[in-house]
Amino acid sequence: MEIRVGNGFDVHRFSEDPSRPLVLGGVTVPGAAGLHGHSDADVVTHAVAEALLGAAGLGDLGTHFPDTDERWRGAVSTELLAHVVGLVRARGWDVANVDCSVVAEQPKLAPHRGEMQEVLTRVVGAPVTVKGRRAEQIGGLGRSEGIACLASALLVRRPGAEEQ
């Protein structure tokens, strides 16, 4: 059995735009400040996509969806992730699972974790787990200046698939 592991990371600072929604793992978190970014700035979904791309040897998110391209302004990150999953599958890989650690002082993730896992699992087509972590008031994340996410993905070569 051929397997590959990929790691993904993303970080965004909070936006100064009070009307910008916070989107994490494809879920809009009501009443929370949004993150600054070219797309919807969904750090969880971005980290998952980075992990999948890395495991499949397909570059990074910026290569596929550059923030210099206006087509991606305001893009819905779960749609970008669905495209990445298609690229990974086209290379002969199936996703076995993805695990994410979200580093944030705020908001609390526990009330939204189940829905985030459901959305991401549906898009990825394999189990995705999400865990919340705090930065314990260390650095910019600890001062609630933004949110970061680390993700690890495991890919398994589809039986009969050849390296593309």
Q: What is the CATH number of the domain that holds 58?
A: 3.30.1330.50
Q: Is residue 21 part of a domain?
A: yes
30 phi, psi to nearest 5 deg: -65, 140
Span 87-136, pLDDT tens digits: 999 999 999 999 999 999 999 999 999 999 999 999 999 999 999 999 99
Q: Among candidates 143, 161, 119, 160, which has minimal Cα distance to 29?
A: 119
Whole-model pTM: value is 0.95
How far does CA 115 lie from the centroid of its chain?
14
Span 58-89, pLDDT tens digits: 999 999 998 888 888 889 999 999 999 999 99
Q: Is residue 70 part of a domain?
A: yes
Lookup result for tokens 């051929």: 2
The beta strands (E) that lie in 25-83 are given as: 27-29
Q: Is residue 59 part of a domain?
A: yes
Residues in the chain: 164
| 107 upstream amide cis, omega within 30 of 0 | yes
- Count the domains in the chain: 1
Q: Is residue 163 part of a domain?
A: no
Question: Range of 51's domain?
Answer: 3-157
Give the span between the Cα atoms of 39 and 77, in whole angstroms: 7
Q: Is residue 42 part of a domain?
A: yes
